[in-house]
Amino acid sequence: MGLIVTDGKTFFSEEKRDAQSDTSQLVAGVPAYHFRNTGRDGRYRIEKDLLTDPGRDVVLQQVRFTALRGTLADYHLYVLLAPHLGNRGSNNTAWVGEYKSTPMLFAERAGLALALACSAPWLARTVGFVGSSDAWQELRTNKRLTRTYRRAENGNVAVAGEVDLRASNGSFLLALGFGTTAAEAGQHALASLLDGCESARADYVEGWEAWRRSLAKVRPSFSPRHHLYHTSSTVLRTHESKQLQGGVIASLSIPWGFSKGDDDLGGYHLVWPRDLAEAAGGFLAIGAHAEARRVLRYLEITQEPDGHWSQNMWLDGTAYWNGIQLDETALPILLVDLAAREGALSAGERNAYWPMVRQAAAYLVRTGPVSPQDRWEEDPGYSPFTLAVEIAALLVAADLADAAQNKAAANYLRETADAWNACIERWLYVSDTELARQYGVDGYYVRVAEPDQIDASPAIHGVVPIRNRPPGQGTAQAALTVSLDALAFVRFGLRAPDDPRVVNTVKIIDATLQVLTPNGPSWRRYANDGYGEHADGAPFDGTGIGRAWPLLTGERAHYELAAGRKESAEQLARAMEQFAGESGLLPEQIWDAADIPERELFNGHASGSARPLVWAHAEYLRLCRSLQDGRLFDQPPQTVKRYVGKTTPCPYAVWRFNNKIQRMAAGKTLRVETLASAIVHWSSDGWRQPNDVRTQDTTLGVNTADLPTADLPAGSRIDFTFHWTDVDRWEGTDFVVLVE
């Protein structure tokens, strides 16, 4: 919705294209805005106060039109509105009508409706089809409405009305109401008109200020530029659903939305459990405990029966994409613990989440540690970020299992965390590669690594196979590259920041992914990332070049703080503030190439990606809190105690159908894991004297059998197979593990 100014004869000016706009908040930290739009030719000025009616589904715009040349009588002012009800521009129907004798403009589509009302008289109203009979075409050509239409049925429509400037002396209120029917939308709009903007503004501002007063006393940002701290907290709060509490969508925007059609229905108007957990961490960082509790309840409600969460979903919990990412199952477990540590949950409330945590942890141990996709939703395999949050989540779940008096589960969860932690380097650290030699290090953690071996016929065991991509694609290529995901080993307390392997990886990360901009350094996700604008600035269309992400600047800053370089971390936080620009909104990506003014792309400023990105604002808030506390705010203490500064030995080498190890170190006990009860029939002497070990139930959907192999010398061969007791059937295949 915008305004068009004409003189009725030769002059045509569109507010959004032909005016210089200055924007400010009506009250600091409150999402109500004042716009001052001045025509570039100096003829007029439009001032608008914009907010929502806190009691109704109505957007209010208090408008003041000033003639800088001539008088009000020399100008015609039109409101132009393009309805996209139900997230679609197609199949909308618009008409000129009234609600209880009050003239309005209406539109509806599929059980949703809007009504536009004005406190000043309408001199003319019309509707039409965009590109042919809409008011923009008419005004652009004739500078006034020479033809008007009363109804536009089932299409891409626009509505328009001319405001009587002289009758209103240039000052009027626009009320855009929404409802399930046109009558409901009209009633909302009329009620807001009658109450007026000042009443709505007073209630609206007081509501926001009361929310800020309700927060726990957390000192805001370290930085002189405090407004991003307050704006970020507002961004998080405004992205929570009013109807489905605790549901925080990823962004109110659609990346490159100007180039998208109706088929891109979701955009970022969806809940990603990862982003949701990150947002809840941001709430906790600012002391918004009630919001964090609502997120946890929302997660509890939307958890799938098998324990995982959908890759992303509509607010009602309906899955949108059908992928599975194991970090999105692990992060809610960590959120329970963080909320308890911050005092948002009592010990009893924390323990009450054991059923949810148990289901999620059970899913992780049944299907992990290999993730069907990494956190960027692209490649399968071992991923540093996913592996780090999985291990941390298992230790947190073990604490809750202890509180629930489930010792079998608690022991198994810690043993599994230890086993996975002990394998990190075997799975993800590579040495003597071309990249390592190029930068003078012995090795580095890769972005994604393929699993050792994947079962080709998983139906019996319930394991989903990972279908490897052709050579040169997917994990085959990812295994040669780095990403900032490796910093998760420090962020989640699995490795010390000065661990030589971490330091080596950071050296390559900075050399290959860091981008220096006029606003400060940022980092790209990984080499050959294709999610971003093309080289010429054309919008992402399924291909492109991935640009730098401000949230990765925050992750890099957290590493600097962990390494004891607080001043460096503060500098990176200030870069994030610069990336937000004057709007205070952090984008998903910034443009990191030469300026392209005609595409509104400027180095160090927002690209056409999502803006704001809730995850980025949450990362900034957590960074502010980390800098205030002098430590990583969301680092789990369980992992630090267990893995940093000392070595927690793992006595087991774990074999399972989605991780069929072929070799194990001497001195280890071979633990065989299955998803069904079984007898493991095994031998270390070529089947001359076979042995049987019955699996034990961990209560988490995993059964274990520990084969007494610790005394076997190097060079031994372990043969084994299975008798599935529930169905009285032999596996029919022998498996081999060599001791070395």
Mean pLDDT for 428-442 is: 94
Strand order through the sheet with 520-524: 514-517, 520-524, 548-549
d(CA 599, CA 540) in angstroms, rounded, equals 13
* Residue 606 token pair: 């927002």
Per the CB < 8 A criterion, the answer to whether 228 and 580 are in contact is yes
Q: Is the pLDDT reported for residue 6 higher than 80?
A: yes
Residue 648 reports pLDDT greater than 50: yes
Mean pLDDT value across residues 538-555: 97
Length of the chain: 740
Query: Maximum distance among all alpha carbons in the chain?
Result: 106
Helices (H) and strands (E) in the chain, counts: 22, 29
SS3 assignment, position 102: strand
pLDDT, mean over the chain: 93
Distance separating alpha carbons of residues 4 and 375, to the nearest angstrom: 44
705 has a pLDDT exceeding 70 = yes
**224-228, 235-239, 525-529: least confidently modelled range:** 224-228
What pTM does this model have? 0.92
Residue 87 scores a pLDDT above 90: no
Q: In this structure, which topology does domain 2-207 adopt according to CATH?
A: Beta-galactosidase; Chain A, domain 5 (2.70.98)
Closest of 682, 666, 667, 668 to residue 739, by C-alpha: 666
At which residue do the structure tokens 């080289």 appear? 535
Q: Could you give the C-alpha distances from 40 to 16, 17, 19, 70, 471, in angstroms and in order?
A: 11, 9, 5, 16, 55
Confidence of residue 468 (pLDDT cuts 50, 70, 90): very low
- The encoded tokens of residue 510 equal 């900075």
For residues 458-474, average pLDDT: 32
Rounded Cα distance, 701 and 582, in Å: 52
pLDDT band at 225 (very low <50, low <70, confident <90, very high): low
Q: What number is the average pLDDT over the span 454-463?
A: 31
Beta-bridge partner residues of 704: 673, 696
The domain defined by 215-643 folds into Glycosyltransferase (1.50.10)
Residues 496-526 pLDDT 10s: 999 999 999 999 999 999 999 999 999 999 9
pLDDT value at position 466?
29
Q: What is the pLDDT of residue 307?
A: 97
Domains 2-207 and 652-739 share a fold: no
Q: Render 664-724 in DSSP notation, one character per residue.
A: E-TT-EEEEEESS-EEEEEESSTTSS-EEEE-EE-SSS-EEEEE--TTPPTT-EEEEEEEE
Confidence category of residue 219, pLDDT binned at 50, 70, 90: low
Query: Other C-beta atoms within 10 Å of 709: how many?
Result: 21
Q: Where are the alpha helices (DSSP H) in 486-542?
A: 488-491, 500-513
Cβ contacts of residue 394 below 8 Å, gap of 6+? 361, 364, 365, 413, 414, 416, 417, 420
Q: How confident is the model at residue 659 (pLDDT cuts 50, 70, 90)?
A: confident
- Tell me the per-residue pLDDT of 141-166, one tens digit each, with 9 for 90 and over: 999 999 999 999 999 999 999 999 99
Predicted confidence at residue 459, as pLDDT, reads 28
pLDDT (average), residues 630-639: 97
**Tens-place pLDDT, residues 189-209:** 999 999 999 999 999 999 999
Do 555 and 541 contact (CB within 8 A), yes or no?
A: no
Q: What is the DSSP string of 268-337?
A: T-SB-HHHHHHHHHHHHHTT-HHHHHHHHHHHHHH--TTS---SSB-TTS-BSS----THHHHHHHHHHH
pLDDT tens-digit readout, 598-625: 999 999 999 999 999 999 999 999 999 9
Q: What pLDDT sits at residue 453? A: 37
92 in Cβ contact with 156 (< 8 Å):
yes
Percent of the chain with pLDDT over 70: 95
> Does position 188 have pLDDT exceeding 50, yes or no?
yes
pLDDT tens-digit map of 574-585 = 999 999 998 899
The pLDDT value given to residue 220: 61
Beta bridge partners of 724: 678, 729
CATH of domain 652-739: 2.60.40
Q: Quick one: pLDDT at residue 460?
A: 29
Position 381 confidence tier, pLDDT thresholds 50, 70, 90: confident
Task: State the Cα–Cα distance between residues 521 and 592, nearest whole angstrom.
Answer: 10
The structural domains of the chain, with segments of one domain joined by +, span: 2-207, 215-643, 652-739
Q: Tell me the pLDDT tens digit for each residue of 31-86.
A: 999 999 999 999 999 999 999 999 999 999 999 999 999 999 999 999 999 999 98
